[in-house]
């Protein structure tokens, strides 16, 4: 078992959201303060049906609990009506709840009681490189197969492919079909593949509508579904004014490289350094690492990107409260030179007091014309130190 970076609250009720198989239940089982908790797993169809028919059972089950005791409910979105009772039990009995979920979509759609700030909100992601370092980190393997905990138990590539394909199938069946998040599955399946093929690119809604045959509003709704089921996140364009007006649409990044490659049907394609696909996967992986670390540290960092109308681009901008903003070029090369960060140099005069970094696989760190050319591990430390 890996030691996870996320440390849930021991004194306050909380939601723990995350995509399927990120290890939410395992994480909670490893928390000593939950050892004696009353537990309900709503993935059990019989238990889900009982609570759906009679939510009041939760009140009855909690009748013997004392103030400060804990209740764990896995996949609470299966029975959103329970949250009103959770709210009441917290208020009247002073009992704490740990509530896991792989989707906020059903909760929001059903107008569920989100406990009005009485519960903290945490997010769990696939394993980070720091977590993986505990047992040995392999960059190429992580880029190719992702870092869901279960994938690490397979030694054979065929089994990894089977697992990731089954993951996508289960996601479509149980998160989308069973929860009735879309009326027609076929356009959504097609959208998923198109979204995976365009991972990390600025979203072009018009092109996606042509590729999928659905209108722009439906495409926007599909992206919302991916976000609400924690399958990815939007990277918004940089908010401050710059010399050249930039394109305004966001980018979308899938939460895990292996799942993304399964959706795009590219798991059997090798990732070779120096190729476009390798560079794209490296950039996506590094941005995901920064996104995860920012959430775990709860540091208020804001992530964005910048691309002007004449296609000058900065891959990642990280605004850090009370610290210098970081402007990042992310390159998969193992030999960096000035060509790799020419766009950074173009914007140095606009932000003279900020930090400009080119993160790469080059092991030789150096300063070139005010640009910090750093190995990706050193860049990560410079950002989060």
Specify the pLDDT at position 173: 86
DSSP characters for 217-235? HHHHHHHHHHHHTTSEEEE
Percent of the chain having pLDDT more than 70?
Answer: 96
Q: What is the mean pLDDT of residues 122-130?
A: 97
Note the pLDDT tens digit of each residue in 200-252: 999 999 999 999 999 999 999 999 999 999 999 999 999 865 655 566 899 99
Whether 343 contacts 246, CB under 8 Å? no
Whether 114 contacts 120, CB under 8 Å? no
Specify the pLDDT at position 2: 87
What's 349's DSSP letter?
A: T
Specify the pLDDT at position 346: 86
Whether 56 contacts 85, CB under 8 Å? yes
* Residue 368: φ, ψ to 5°: -125, 105
0.75 cut: is pTM over it? yes
Whether 128 contacts 293, CB under 8 Å? yes
What kind of fold does domain 14-123 have according to CATH? Rossmann fold (3.40.50)
SS3 assignment, position 190: helix
Task: Spell out the domain ranges in the chain.
Answer: 14-123, 129-236+251-281, 294-384
Q: Which strands form 355-360's sheet, in the order they lie side by side?
A: 251-254, 232-237, 302-307, 313-319, 326-330, 355-360, 371-375, 366-368
- CA-to-CA separations, 76 to 55, 84, 93, 231, 295, in angstroms, rounded: 12, 12, 20, 18, 22
Comparing CA positions, the residue from 22, 2, 295, 283 lying closest to residue 136 is 2
For residues 330, 6, 103, 304, the Cα torsion angle rounded to the nearest 10 degrees is -30
Note the pLDDT tens digit of each residue in 10-44: 999 999 999 999 999 999 999 999 999 999 999 99
Confidence of residue 181 (pLDDT cuts 50, 70, 90): confident
Residue 110 has pLDDT above 70, yes or no: no
Whether 50 contacts 57, CB under 8 Å? yes
Comparing CA positions, the residue from 346, 310, 305 lying closest to residue 325 is 305
For the chain, how far is it from start to end, CA to CA, in angstroms? Answer: 26
SS3 assignment, position 324: coil
Specify the pLDDT at position 241: 59
Comparing CA positions, the residue from 32, 30, 28 lying closest to residue 76 is 28
Sign of the dihedral defined by the CA atoms of residues 260, 265, 267, 272, in that order:
negative
Q: Give, in words, the CATH class of 294-384.
A: alpha beta
């Amino acid at each position: 078992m890996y030691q996870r970076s996320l440390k849930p609250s021991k004194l306050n009720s909380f939601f723990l959201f995350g995509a399927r198989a990120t290890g939410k239940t395992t994480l909670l089982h490893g928390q000593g303060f939950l050892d004696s908790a009353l537990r309900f797993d709503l993935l059990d169809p019989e238990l889900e049906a009982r609570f759906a028919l009679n939510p009041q059972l939760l009140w009855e089950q909690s009748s013997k609990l004392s103030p400060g005791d804990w209740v764990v409910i896995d996949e609470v979105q299966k029975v959103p009506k329970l949250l009103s009772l959770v709210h009441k039990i917290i208020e009247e009995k002073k009992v704490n709840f740990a509530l896991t979920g792989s989707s906020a979509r059903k909760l929001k759609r059903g107008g569920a009681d989100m406990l009005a700030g009485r519960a903290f909100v945490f997010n769990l992601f696939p394993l980070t490189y720091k977590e993986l370092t505990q047992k040995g980190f392999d960059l190429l393997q992580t880029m190719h197969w992702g870092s869901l905990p279960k994938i690490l138990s397979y030694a054979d590539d065929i089994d990894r492919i089977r697992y990731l394909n089954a993951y996508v199938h289960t996601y479509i069946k149980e998160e989308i079909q069973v929860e009735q998040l879309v009326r027609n599955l076929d356009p959504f399946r097609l959208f998923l593949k198109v979204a995976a093929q365009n991972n990390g690119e600025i979203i072009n809604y018009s092109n996606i509508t042509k590729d999928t045959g659905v209108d722009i509003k439906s495409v926007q709704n599909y992206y919302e579904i991916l976000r609400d089921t924690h399958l990815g996140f939007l990277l918004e364009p940089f908010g401050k004014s710059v010399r050249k007006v930039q394109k305004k649409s966001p980018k979308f990044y899938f939460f895990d490289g292996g799942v993304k490659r399964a959706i795009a049907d590219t798991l059997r394609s090798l990732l070779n350094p120096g190729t476009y696909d390798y560079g794209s996967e490296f950039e996506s992986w590094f941005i995901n690492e920064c996104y995860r670390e920012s959430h775990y540290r709860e540091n208020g960092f804001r992530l964005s990107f910048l691309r002007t109308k004449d296609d000058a681009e900065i891959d990642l901008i990280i605004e850090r409260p009370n610290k210098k903003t970081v402007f990042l070029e992310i390159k998969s090369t193992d030999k960096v030179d000035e060509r790799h960060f020419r766009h950074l140099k173009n914007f140095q005069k606009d932000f003279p007091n900020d930090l400009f970094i080119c993160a790469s696989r080059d092991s030789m760190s150096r300063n070139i014309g005010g640009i910090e050319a750093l190995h990706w591990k050193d860049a990560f430390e410079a950002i989060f130190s």
